[in-house]
Amino acid sequence: MMKHKNIFVACDTSNLSEIKKIIKQTQTNKLKVIPKFGLQFFYSKNGRKFLENFNKDFWLDLKINDIPQTALSAVDSLKDLKKCKYITVHTNGGLQMLKAIKKKTISINKNLKVLGVTILTSLNNKSLKEIGHTKSVEQLVLKQAGLIKKSGCDGIVCSAHEAKMVRKKFKKLFIVTPGIRLPGDSTNDQSRIMTPNDAFKNKVSGIVMGRSLIKGNIKNNIQRLIDHLNK
């Protein structure tokens, strides 16, 4: 049963030997673990080169957000990354950008899923008000989920708190949630967090875990996750 649960491990470092260690030590036959590489690693000296030759499925979390033509050029420049299975774009880029990117990815790699990032899990209603939004986190996420569906993109990234509400309205959307912590772990800079089990109860398709897995003893952390999911 656990093999059907997507666990995305956030490889948040630019250190290549650390990356290799994280990838090796998070692999287990009991879980479906997929590495997620963000800006830090992709922009690093060895990052892109490593991904060109990487032979397992991975998620490239670049959160592309620009005018449609520039966003398309960015996606086009990724076509040599054959094992890239997921890319992220900011839903804020608008319907035209989202449609254009989805169309482009189909021509590059039909297995590549486009995930729209909604409201970052470091933000809350107070932060949204500060940047000029009048709607709540929940209202905005639901609105943006509708935009993703309309654009033909494959899924969204939102906190597990909004996932239940999104799933109720969009039954087939691929929903991934960051801000996931094992019980007792520090929240750090995330505002809207949840445990893995609670997130999966909210019908998410996958969860993103960073510090809870990669800080300290990685193998022990993976075992803690397996034990937690078995409860």
Please state the pTM of the whole predicted model: 0.92
Active-site residue (options: 36, 63, 102, 113): 63
Report the chain's mean pLDDT, rounded to a whole number.
92
Question: Could you tell me which residues come within 8 angstroms of residue 196 by beta carbon, excluding any fewer than 6 positions away?
Answer: 7, 180, 182, 207, 209, 225, 228, 229
Residue boundaries of the structural domains of the chain:
2-229
Give me Rg for the CA atoms of the chain.
17
Nearest partner of 114 among 37, 61, 163, judged by Cα: 61
Q: Partners of 90 in the beta sheet?
A: 117
Q: Which two tokens stand for residue 108?
A: 């590059």
The pLDDT, as a whole number, for residue 35 is 98
pLDDT at 192 over 70: no
Average the pLDDT over 10-37 and give the result: 95
CA 89, CA 115: separation in Å to the nearest integer? 6
Q: How confident is the model at residue 133 (pLDDT cuts 50, 70, 90)?
A: confident
Q: Which helix (H) or strand (E) holds 34?
A: strand 32-38
Q: Partners of 87 in the beta sheet?
A: 60, 114
DSSP symbol at 86 = E
CATH superfamily of 2-229: Aldolase class I (3.20.20.70)
Q: How confident is the model at residue 188 (pLDDT cuts 50, 70, 90)?
A: low
Contact 76, 54 (CB under 8 A): no
63 catalytic per annotation:
yes
**pLDDT tens per residue, range 82-127:** 999 999 999 999 999 999 999 999 999 989 999 999 988 788 889 8
pLDDT at 139 over 70: yes
**DSSP-derived 3-state class of residue 98:** helix
For the chain, give the percent of residues with pLDDT over 90: 81
CA 4, CA 1: separation in Å to the nearest integer? 6
CA 69, CA 100: separation in Å to the nearest integer? 8
Nearest partner of 173 among 202, 196, 204, 138, judged by Cα: 204
Question: Could you tell me which residues come within 8 angstroms of residue 77 by beta carbon, excluding any fewer than 6 positions away?
Answer: none
The pLDDT, as a whole number, for residue 1 is 59
**pLDDT tens per residue, range 25-40:** 999 999 999 999 999 9
Place of tokens 């297995």: 111
* Helices 218-229 and 16-26, axial angle in degrees (round to 10): 40
